[in-house]
Amino acid sequence: MLNDLLTLMRSELLVTGLIFLLLVLKIGGWMNSGRMLPWIQALLLLNFIIGLIDLPEGNLFGGMYNTNDIILLEKNVLNGALFLISLLFTVRFNKTRNLPEFFILLLSSLLGMFLMISSGHLLMFYLSLELATLPLAALVGFDLDKRTSSEAAMKMLYSSAFSSVMLLFGISLMYGIAGTLNFNELSIIAQSSNPLFITAFIFLFTAFAFKLSIVPFHFWTADVYEGSPMPITAFLSVVSKGGIVFVFMSVLFKVFQNIQEVWYYLIVILAIATMLIGNIFAIRQQNMKRFLAFSSIAQVGFILAGISGNSIQGRASVIFFIIIYIFSNLAAFGVVNIISSHTGSEKMEKYKGLYRSHPGLAWVMALALFSLAGIPPTAGFFGKLFLLSAGAARGNYWFLTFAALNMVISLFYYLKVVRLMFIDKNDKPLEDINLNTPVKMGLIICVLGILLTGFISWIFNYLILVA
Amino acid sequence: MDLTALILLPLFTALAILIVRQSTPVRWIALTGSVAQLLLAVLLLLFYNRERELGNTAQMMYETKYAWFASLNINFHTGVDGIAVAMILLTSFVVVAGVLVSWNNKKYTAEYFFLLILLSLGAYGFFISLDLILLFFFLEVAVIPKFLLIGIWGSGNKEASANKLALMLMGASALILIGILGMYYYGGNSFDILTLSQTSIPVTAQKIFFPLLFLGFGVFTAIFPFHTWVPDGHSSAPTAGSMFLAGISMKLGGYGCIRVAAYLMPEGAKEYAAVIIILATIAIIYGAFATLMQTDLKYMNAYSSISHCGFVLLGIGMLTTTALTGAVMQMVSHGLMTALFFAVIGMIYERSGTRNVNEMSGLQKQMPFIITVLYIAGLCSLGLPGLSGFVAEMMVFMGSWQQQGILHRVATVLAAMSIVVTSVYILKAVTRISMGPLKAGLESVRDAQWNEKLAAIILIVGILAIGLAPAWLNDLVRPGAEILMNHIQGK
């Protein structure tokens, strides 16, 4: 049993080990907080590399914890994203007080997401969801000297508390109907003829909808993204969303497969609303963080289009898209971070004429935005193509036409930023920016990911094999 | 001959341009790359003709297929037939001319040539693709370079025009994507053009997806009423950008209509042929009359392009082999002609500082070479025999007359009458610029420089080659058109 535990829960144990290591180092005072960052980055890289090693399938604790190849891959994707975040925001981390606490909380949230992805029982799911959310609420308020940060933390806390309440209600209803909270047993009990079950499902769904910023549960997104410190915004938009998407897919495809006529139309309607609201609100934004927040809402709408496919192909396309989305969004946040720390402002007009003064940064931002818009030859094109193609399997071509036309709207606001950078001129151009090496490495990794992922077909083929 | 060379050569040229950033070597790299590509295209033509003479009657030559995303049946499948060879030849001529015309560009020279070569890469890849996703990939690759070319190096209301162009073309691509996905699922899970042509897609599906595909590709060819991106887009673009946009980009749509929409969904084509003919005729006549009203040379040429590309759509809509051959020949001829026209307009604009017809006169004595080229371009546009425009339009009319329905006859007659309108606006504009007393302020304009002369001569050689001895183009294109038409007619 112990042997099983040690091997199967390897990812969680590694992250827990890291947490305890940081805790000990901080409390023992053996290492100056300022010098911890390179070690943290190295350990996160090690964590990612070890995560690439295969593990056997299995489940623990009576089915509460499962693992298989695809779950392992999903967790490692999140590992990689966290490593990239630690690289890209090096400068900001060097200025952060209480850096070990920061990473302890971050890693705890990651641990919660790992347990969520592996969960096989609704109680386990709930516990790990709370573990994932609470540290984030603290992290959102980590910028103690900014009022917007505390405001964002309060908003995050209240909204997630409310969604947890709804989740608990749904879980208790389900327990009342089924007498069990185990995923496998629930999937047998799930019948569309049982209206109480459908109601319980809806409550469960709202928890996901809140974390994923699906319209109409998206209202917290823009303010929280704007107020949080930049690395947390990146983490929220990429890792948190990615993890929840992975769980969402497992839960929908495994547990609620039998009531898919119910959730298919639910997802289609919500996807339409999400894409539309995300795109329309993004057009008016002047703050880059809010802009990227609304753009991620629109991307989630697209992901829903892929999930609506309800197939192995759908699952593989979504994971593929999340990988590409991680690269693109992190590259964008990396550039926003650099510009914001040098000009002190996150406003879009600071990007005017960026190509003239800093062509490299402008190109990185442009590539990231093109990938988010779905323009070839960036990988975002392939991501969106596969998502649409998975959704097309159901034959709902009106929905897909709507989704494809939304790509046009999203191109409009992405081109706005591209236009500011390449075409407009700036009277007060930015002075020279010397990029820190880890930041440069992080940006290079992201750019390579954007350019090459689409062409390296074995990634997608492997995903289809494993999903 | 490996067709991947057609993609790799521009790719290496573009990368070399990125690595070498200084203006002078970059221009020579771009020129060498595009001339080498021209030689490749001519070699392709010669090899292709020799293969045909040796009796090879396969539909597509030099096919290669590499698995890409095997789980979704997406392959890197390339191959050419006569139509594709003709379009590749056209592209190479226009790109060389475009590079030459932009020789003295001072602003961000490296990026300019990089984007131009990238555009050409998209075009070459598009014409050799035999897999729908590959085709779509190359179609979309060109959107951002177009946006940047117009937005950064353009003139006039360039940001708005660039935006309009990028968004409308992206919208068209969205429709094409849905059409492609529809064909995938209804055609037996294949993205391959040749395989799909052998499977019969259910007619109900064709009735939905054919309009999507034809409309999507049609927007690229300025189908009415989605032609509104053309006037602003072409006029705000820099000279080489306009040459490429009008000369090649609009032909991507026509090629897509033929190869993808009509070929893979024959019943859909027959069902909607009447609509296509009506829209094409409207484009021809509306484009011609709208040109009459213009005073800006570039806007004139843009609307005239709408009118001429209407001939392409008319030829496709008529659904006869001769008309289809005429449509392809019109694509090639118009591509060369409009590239020449935009090149000349660019030269005139650079020298006189204005594109307004009313503000120029008497330039014949000052720049004889440029004005001669202007006359040649204008006469080709109005279909003077001896130049390529006549041959192409003649083919389209002959093919259209083979259809005896009343709609077809009326459309043909109306289209033929539009030539008169074309003559009016061409002669009016050209004579006003060239003849008469020299307008004040234009005394210091000089004639063409070596690069502009070379660009014009290259394009004129192409125009004359088709106009004086069209048999080679006819023999190149007709077999492919015949196979397509036989398939559409269901034989």
CA B175/CA B166 separation, integer angstroms: 14
Contact A419 B159 (CB under 8 A): yes
Please check the confidence at residue B491 and state whether its pLDDT lies above 70: no
| Positive or negative: CA dihedral A233, A239, A242, A248 | negative
For B174, the closest of A376, A405, A423 (CB atoms) is: A405
CA A110/CA A113 separation, integer angstroms: 5
Instruction: Give the per-residue pLDDT at B353.
Output: 84
Please check the confidence at residue A192 and state whether its pLDDT lies above 70: no
Please check the confidence at residue A433 and state whether its pLDDT lies above 90: no
Contact B170 A393 (CB under 8 A): no
Task: Determine what percent of chain A is predicted with pLDDT higher than 70.
Answer: 99
* Contacting residues of A for B163, CB less than 8 Å apart: 412, 415, 419
Query: Tens digit of pLDDT for each residue in A66-113?
Result: 888 889 999 999 999 999 999 999 888 888 888 889 999 999 999 999
Instruction: Find the residue in A nearest to B137 (Cα).
Output: A376
More confident residue, A426 or A368: A368
Count residue pairs from A and B with Cβ separation < 8 A.
87
Q: What are the tokens at A75?
A: 């967790």
Contact A404 B178 (CB under 8 A): yes
Instruction: Find the residue in A nearest to B74 (Cα).
Output: A457
* Contacting residues of B for A402, CB less than 8 Å apart: none
| Positive or negative: CA dihedral A374, A380, A381, A383 | negative
Instruction: Give the per-residue pLDDT at A352.
Output: 87
Distances in whole angstroms, Cα of residue B295 to Cα of each of B301, B429, B430:
10, 8, 12
**DSSP secondary structure of A417-458:** HHHHHHTS--SS-----PPPHHHHHHHHHHHHHHHHTTT-HH
B contact test, residue of A357, A367, A411 with most B CBs within 10 A = A411
Q: Is A415 on the interface with B (CB under 8 A)?
A: yes
Calculate mean pLDDT across residues B61-67.
84
Instruction: Indicate the Cα dihedral angle B176, B177, B179, B184, nearest 10°.
Output: 140
B contact test, residue of A302, A406, A415 with most B CBs within 10 A = A415
Query: Tens digit of pLDDT for each residue in B419-454?
Result: 999 999 999 999 988 888 887 777 777 888 888 999
Instruction: Indicate the Cα dihedral angle A183, A188, A192, A193, nearest 10°.
Output: -130
SS3 B404: coil
Number of Cβ within 10 Å of residue A218's Cβ equals 22
Contact A389 B171 (CB under 8 A): no
Interface of B with A (CB under 8 A): 67-72, 133, 137-138, 140-141, 143-144, 147-148, 151-152, 158-159, 162-163, 166-167, 170-171, 174-175, 177-178, 181-182, 184-185, 208, 212
Contact A370 B144 (CB under 8 A): yes
Please check the confidence at residue B171 and state whether its pLDDT lies above 90: yes
**DSSP secondary structure of A274-343:** HHHHHHHHHHT--BHHHHHHHHHHHHHHHHHHHHTT-SHHHHHHHHHHHHHHHHHHHHHHHHHHHHHHHH
Number of Cβ within 10 Å of residue A256's Cβ equals 21
* Contacting residues of B for A365, CB less than 8 Å apart: none
For B71, the closest of A411, A422, A461 (CB atoms) is: A461
Strands B61-69 and A65-67: unpaired
CA A432/CA B423 separation, integer angstroms: 57
B contact test, residue of A375, A384, A462 with most B CBs within 10 A = A375
Contact B151 A423 (CB under 8 A): yes
Please check the confidence at residue A457 and state whether its pLDDT lies above 80: no
Calculate mean pLDDT across residues A409-435.
85
Instruction: Give the per-residue pLDDT at B53.
Output: 86
Calculate mean pLDDT across residues A168-177.
91
Q: Is A345 on the interface with B (CB under 8 A)?
A: no
CA–chain centroid gap for A251, Å, is 17
Q: List chain A domain ranges.
A: 2-466
Instruction: Find the residue in B nearest to A410 (Cα).
Output: B167
CA angle A79, A82, A88 (to 5 degrees): 140
Place of tokens 């307008």: B439
- Among B186, B242, B229, B10, smallest CA distance to B113 is for B10
SS3 B80: strand
Global pTM reads 0.92
A contact test, residue of B7, B11, B71 with most A CBs within 10 A = B71
* Contacting residues of A for B167, CB less than 8 Å apart: 408, 411-412, 415
* Contacting residues of A for B160, CB less than 8 Å apart: none
A contact test, residue of B121, B126, B144, B191 with most A CBs within 10 A = B144
Contact A422 B137 (CB under 8 A): no
Number of residues that make up chain B: 491
Helix axes B471-489, B23-53, angle to 10 degrees: 70
Q: Is A461 on the interface with B (CB under 8 A)?
A: yes
Q: How far is A389 from chain B (nearest CA, A)?
A: 6
* Contacting residues of B for A461, CB less than 8 Å apart: 69-71
CA A294/CA A206 separation, integer angstroms: 19
Contact A415 B137 (CB under 8 A): no
Q: What number of helices (H) and strands (E) belong to chain B?
A: 22, 2
Read off φ and ψ for residue B129, nearest 5 degrees.
-75, 135
* Beta carbons of B146 and B166 less than 8 angstroms apart: yes
Calculate mean pLDDT across residues A14-38.
86
Contact A457 B68 (CB under 8 A): yes
CA B19/CA B13 separation, integer angstroms: 10
Contact B141 A376 (CB under 8 A): yes
Mean of per-residue pLDDT scores for chain B: 90
CA B353/CA B359 separation, integer angstroms: 10
Place of tokens 């999340």: A322
Q: Is A413 on the interface with B (CB under 8 A)?
A: no
SS3 B67: strand
Confidence of residue B68 (pLDDT cuts 50, 70, 90): confident
- Which residue type does A40 have? I
Number of Cβ within 10 Å of residue A360's Cβ equals 15
CA B441/CA B444 separation, integer angstroms: 7
Instruction: Give the per-residue pLDDT at B434.
Output: 87
Distances in whole angstroms, Cα of residue B17 to Cα of each of A295, A320, B114:
33, 32, 6
* Beta carbons of B247 and B463 less than 8 angstroms apart: no
Q: What are the tokens at A391?
A: 């959704």
Query: Tens digit of pLDDT for each residue in B200-235?
Result: 888 888 898 999 999 999 999 988 889 999 999 999
CA A24/CA A13 separation, integer angstroms: 16
Query: Domain range spanning residue B421?
Result: 4-489
CA A35/CA B352 separation, integer angstroms: 65
Query: Tens digit of pLDDT for each residue in B446-482?
Result: 888 888 999 999 999 999 999 999 999 999 999 889 8
- Which residue type does B131 have? D
SS3 B227: coil
Query: Tens digit of pLDDT for each residue in B4-21?
Result: 888 999 999 999 998 888
Q: Is A201 on the interface with B (CB under 8 A)?
A: no
Tell me which H or E stretch contains B64: strand B61-69
Calculate mean pLDDT across residues A287-293.
92
Query: Tens digit of pLDDT for each residue in B251-262?
Result: 999 999 999 988
Q: How far is A335 from chain B (nearest CA, A)?
A: 20
Tell me which H or E stretch contains A65: strand A65-67
Number of Cβ within 10 Å of residue A174's Cβ equals 24
Please check the confidence at residue A432 and state whether its pLDDT lies above 80: no
- Among B129, B176, B122, B172, smallest CA distance to B149 is for B122
**Bridge partners, A295 (sequence order):** none
Which residues have C-beta within 8 Å of that of residue A294, sequence separation ≥ 6?
Answer: A221, A222, A278, A279, A281, A282, A285
Instruction: Indicate the Cα dihedral angle A48, A53, A58, A63, nearest 10°.
Output: 0
Please check the confidence at residue A30 and state whether its pLDDT lies above 80: no
More confident residue, A60 or A135: A135
Q: Helix %, strand %, coil % for chain B, to 5?
A: 80, 5, 20
- Which residue type does A382 have? F
Instruction: Find the residue in A nearest to B173 (Cα).
Output: A404
| Positive or negative: CA dihedral B155, B157, B163, B165 | negative
Calculate mean pLDDT across residues B313-330.
92
Contact B140 A376 (CB under 8 A): yes
More confident residue, A414 or B72: A414
Confidence of residue A291 (pLDDT cuts 50, 70, 90): very high
For A419, the closest of B67, B137, B151 (CB atoms) is: B151
**Bridge partners, B351 (sequence order):** none
Contact A415 B141 (CB under 8 A): no
Helical spans, DSSP H, in A65-144:
69-88, 90-95, 99-118, 122-140
CA terminus-to-terminus distance, chain A: 27
A contact test, residue of B114, B126, B159, B181 with most A CBs within 10 A = B181
The ipTM estimated for the assembled molecules is 0.90
For B167, the closest of A370, A389, A411 (CB atoms) is: A411
Number of domains in chain B: 1
* Beta carbons of A326 and A238 less than 8 angstroms apart: yes
* Contacting residues of A for B158, CB less than 8 Å apart: 423
* Beta carbons of A407 and B170 less than 8 angstroms apart: yes
Q: How far is B141 from chain A (nearest CA, A)?
A: 5
Q: What are the tokens at B93?
A: 């001529």
Q: What are the tokens at B247?
A: 């000369």
A contact test, residue of B170, B185, B189 with most A CBs within 10 A = B170
* B254-292 CB burial, b ≥16 within 10 A, e <16: bbbbbbbbbbbbbbbbbebbeebbbbbbbbbbbbbebbe
